[in-house]
Amino acid sequence: MINGKKVLFSGMQATGNLTLGNYLGAMKNWVTLSDEYECFYSVVDMHSITVRQDPSTLRQRARKLLMIYIAAGLDPEKNCLYYQSHVSGHAELAWILNCFTYMGELNRMTQFKDKAAKHADNINAGLFTYPVLMAADILLYQADVVPVGVDQMQHLELTRDIAQRFNGIYGDVFTVPEAYVGKVGAKIMSLQDPSRKMSKSDENPNASIYLMDDPDTIMRKCKRAVTDSEGQILYREEQPGIRNLIDIYSACSGKTPEETVKEFDGKGYGEFKMAVGEAVNSVLKPLQERYAQLEKDKAYIDRIIKENAEKADYVATKTLRKVQRKVGFPDRIR
Ligand code: ATP
Ligand code: LTN
């Protein structure tokens, strides 16, 4: 508990161009939950270097991502938005937790297997212990809840196992966190192949809507979205393309999929696709406008970065000192 509220932690990597999937699956829920919890949203740049990065691109993208957090509606005066690399406790706790995590557990992680296959020339130890750093992120802030998309559930289970193992040995040190997965939009699919998830690393630009796409591009991508020849707008497995568009429309307009189906009963695909494009634009336009404003205000963003890093560091250090004592490191002499 901080300020009488439960704690929420989540993070996103600053790699690639953010998609509508990232927004509807993760960021939109962050905004909804931000009043109820004391929130920490990190730009996890330390996770990014598990895959080779160009330094200046990484720096630019990290700053952009932080501004997108704000543009998406997270008030940086109320929510702690910060860079992971500015708080040294993440690396320090990760080291300790590495000594409480088994090789066998890390070997089972499907994201490691996928990324190792994708980057066969650089299977580094950081890629392997990535989930331990993620556990450290969450446990440092004693988070009660962690909103993520479905693909991160396995890492969250491991975090819970590590926390329980540590608590079993040393007493109640860590809060054991719960995952939060949203109801609508938890898995947005590719517009060109609705059997695959919309991903920022897709080579085909028509497969994803990017958060910074202009209105005409968004309309064009929606019009070209792969559907079927059934001719009916129904929410069912047999029509994965239409189902995905219903998910997108519902998530953007705040309706349930059932309400959307009713609204478009008897209408054609062309008309529906136009409505989807307009709904996406109505969500992304204000985000893009706020982002353009923020880009002009360097001093404001710099102040946010500095103040929030200090706030995060204060909370993180409190947990870290407790953990260091528990494992038997000597006290610091003041
Ligand atoms: P990559 O395509 O490079 O694997 P990614 O697009 O999956 O990246 P991440 O940085 O791994 O993005 O994910 C950030 C957050 O967005 C996570 O919480 C993830 O679950 C969520 N997310 C990513 N893609 C989607 C999607 N298509 N639908 C819903 N949520 C998503
Ligand atoms: N592994 C996550 C990003 C991430 C994260 C976290 C999410 C790193 N640390 C802590 C939630 C909580 C990803 O690839 N999407």
Give domain limits for the chain.
Answer: 6-180+298-327, 215-293
What's the gap in Å between 281 CA and the centre of ligand 2?
27
Ligand 2 neighbourhood includes 47 CB (under 6 angstroms)? yes
Ligand 2 neighbourhood includes 61 CB (under 6 angstroms)? no
Ligand 1, atom 19: closest residue by C-alpha:
149
CATH code of the region 215-293? 1.10.240.10
Cα–Cα distance between 119 and 200 in angstroms, integer? 16
Annotation says 6 is catalytic:
no
Domain 6-180+298-327 falls under CATH 3.10.310.30: no
Give the three-state DSSP class for 66: helix
Cα–Cα distance between 332 and 334 in angstroms, integer? 6
- The mean predicted confidence, pLDDT, of the chain is 95
Cα–Cα distance between 91 and 223 in angstroms, integer? 46
Residue length of the chain = 334
Cα–Cα distance between 218 and 282 in angstroms, integer? 11
User: Same CATH fold, 215-293 and 6-180+298-327?
Assistant: no
Question: Which residues of the chain form beta strands (DSSP E)?
Answer: 7-12, 38-43, 80-83, 145-147, 178-180
Cα–Cα distance between 240 and 228 in angstroms, integer? 9
Give the three-state DSSP class for 267: coil
| Predicted model pTM | 0.92
What's the gap in Å between 278 CA and the centre of ligand 2?
31
pLDDT tens, residue order, the chain (334 aa): 888 999 999 999 988 789 999 999 889 989 999 999 999 999 999 999 999 999 999 999 999 999 999 999 999 999 999 999 999 999 999 999 999 999 999 999 999 999 999 889 999 999 999 999 999 999 999 999 999 888 899 999 999 999 999 999 999 999 999 999 877 667 899 999 999 999 888 889 999 999 999 999 999 999 999 999 999 999 999 999 999 999 999 999 999 999 999 999 999 999 999 999 999 999 999 999 999 999 999 999 999 999 999 999 999 999 999 999 999 999 999 8
In terms of Cα–Cα distance, which of 236, 216, 214, 233 is closest to 224?
216
DSSP string covering 161-177: HHHHHHHHHHSS-S---
Q: Which of 6, 200, 255, 311 is catalytic?
A: 200
Residue environment code for 91-119, b if the CB has 16+ CB neighbours within 10 A, otherwise e: ebbbebbbebbeeeebeebeebeebeeee
Cα–Cα distance between 271 and 161 in angstroms, integer? 49
Please tell me the predicted confidence (pLDDT) of residue 181. 85
